[in-house]
Structure 1
């Protein structure tokens, strides 16, 4: 069914079919706005509910897809206004959640002849970008994502937000300046790009050293200005010495009974760790480390709690006689 029909004439099942085609990309859009996988899911549901209730307002002046994006953006702004009166501060985002690559693979593929589009899609889903964008106030954040990620014209963004084009352009400049304060200094420092053999080898060494709880080997892989956080637990550790000291304080050296499963989140390499539990007779989820790697060194580790494992499609346990690598 085409979207040139009058939406007021379609039944709920047909409308749902039209909307569901855009679910994944709307979910990713809301995730960029909110930084939370679960909040994004709730907001997409709210978007579809609002769209169904307002279906007769779709006049065909824009595409159905753009109309849904408008509703989704406003739903995100409403949520931010009600739940998070202030943006993130201090370089950490305690509500940050990972986004599994297996779901990102469901997005409509950018054309192979559009490398810049592919790069933008990859870079703007990385955790460093998500953290930086959460430090912006909600409306400048929306302007930045609509203009720089989705490529919307300023006049369309102005219409969505009820602002003038001049106001949108001014907000965009402020948002870009704000992003520069929180992103790594140079673009190549935060873009992951395609994973190469060197990256895979570094992840393998990181995994082996982590399972062995070998602090010295791990420290040798960290860049001097490495950053480490563990949302939603507060605390951002910056610098190799600070990160290693935190590991020691947490009793990581000498810990035994670890196993690891390689995975990927936010287009970054990640390692899921499991810890042996004698009572259950299995290795159970412990933490997941998402890595940012620059020039053959680990420049950031974002550690997520075990409650993220189901969303990431990871096993709920590893058997005693099996090690997944």
Structure 2
């Protein structure tokens, strides 16, 4: 945006011109939504916080002095709205999720102390966000939207979480982050050090992940889809790395290794001869599927959830299974299908 035009829009917006305000903030709408999603882990909550941010910006445009860019000013509002939402959630905790009563689950390899309130985010929304990062960013965009990164973020205290996102993902300087959070640079640096230390053991390496939509990725994804639809548990297990994880946010139950995952697939997913149909999509920069269970009595397919694959070389290092069927609508899938 040309500086003169920017100043004209700003002057009009301060005078109450709604169209000028929309033109001023529209370029940042998508990236602000992704920012809120990183912090909150929920697509719906991110949309709500985006609306709150824009409303607060509209109400406060008269007090915007222009010392920081409009983008930085909006990030300050969005970040503090997200922190407020996390504080409110801590005061009013959500109901702890329970497994479906009719399906006894095998003993997990690990139980997290808290649920992971994480939802998958459609790739097309990330692509529309026009990710911008300053020179101090440490994470590539692809890595910073991965489920592994976001799941690890959800286990950080809120202040550490936002500091790490602002500094290491978006590349804001320590002084800018301190001003956004009304704190000191030393406090920002301390929070960032603790956040980096906590994340260091949680994140997988990315060097060997195949490129999105590459022939190498498609081979693994297609092989998985065929095996899953055929109910061939051994073929699925053959695709796993030796330390692969199966997780089911928000449930805090996690299964690691081919044997544990095989047991889960046999006794839960494929129990009683269940069969599925998978429809490919992408989430969080990763291959994914909307999956439907076949009804042996009718030709109708019933929504069952979303599966996201994390790949390492020619193997699958993580299966993330989301059983909330409402998520399918975000990927353009209906509740029922007739193949």
Paired residues of 1:206 and 1:218 also in contact (CA < 8 A) = yes
Cα separation, partners in 2 of 1:280 and 1:43, compared to 1, 3 Å: farther
Distance 2:154 2:335 in 1: 30
Give me the whole-angstrom Cα distance separating, in 1, the residues matched to 2:169 and 2:62. Answer: 29
Q: Does 1:102 align with 2:124?
A: yes
**Distance across 2 between alignment mates of 1:254 and 1:279:** 15
- CA distance in structure 2 between the partners assigned to 1:263 and 1:62 by the alignment: 39
User: Aligned with 1:140: secondary structure?
Assistant: helix
**Cα deviation, residue 81, structure 1:** 0.9
Q: CA deviation at 1:247?
A: 1.7
The Cα of 1:149 is off from its aligned counterpart by: 0.9
Cα distance change on mapping 1:289 and 1:60 into 2, 3 Å = same
Q: Distance in 2 between matches of 1:64 and 1:280?
A: 55
| 1:187 Cα deviation after fit | 4.6
Q: 2:201 aligns with which of 151, 160, 181?
A: 181
TM-score (norm 1): 0.88
Consecutive unaligned residues of structure 1, counting only runs of 5 or more, are 321-325
Which residue is equivalent to 1:42?
Answer: 48
Aligned residues of 1:192 and 1:292 also touching (Cα < 8 A): no
Shift in CA distance, 180/284, structure 1 to aligned 2, threshold 3 Å: same
2: distance between equivalents of 1:262 and 1:118? 31
Correspondent of 1:255 among 261, 266, 273: 273
Alpha-carbon displacement from aligned partner over 1:160-218 (angstroms, at most 9, x marks no partner): 1122112211211111111113212x4536x6643421221111010011001111111
Judged with a 3 Å threshold, the aligned counterparts in structure 2 of structure 1 residues 301 and 64 are, in CA distance, closer, same or farther, namely: same
Is 1:313 matched with 2:332?
A: yes
- Residues 188 and 91 of structure 1: is their aligned pair in 2 closer, same or farther, counting only changes over 3 Å? farther
Aligned match of 1:28: 34
Q: Per-residue CA shift, 1:3-48, capped at 9, x if unaligned?
A: 5533421323432343233211000000111111111111111111
Q: 2:302 aligns with which of 278, 284, 294?
A: 284
2:142 to 110, 117, 122: 122
Q: How does 1:14-93 map to 2 (within 5 A)?
A: 14-84=20-90, 90=112, 93=115
Equivalent-residue separation in structure 1 for 2:196 and 2:149 (angstroms):
12
Partners of 2:275 and 2:294 within 8 A in 1 = yes
**TM-score (structure 2 length as normaliser):** 0.85
Instruction: Confirm or deny: 8 A CA contact 1:227 1:301 kept in the other structure.
Output: yes
Counterpart secondary structure, 1:182: coil
Which position in structure 1 is the counterpart of 2:250?
A: 232
The answer for the alignment partner of 1:2 in structure 2 is: 6
Number of residue-to-residue matches in the alignment: 315
1: CA distance, partners of 2:49 / 2:129? 18
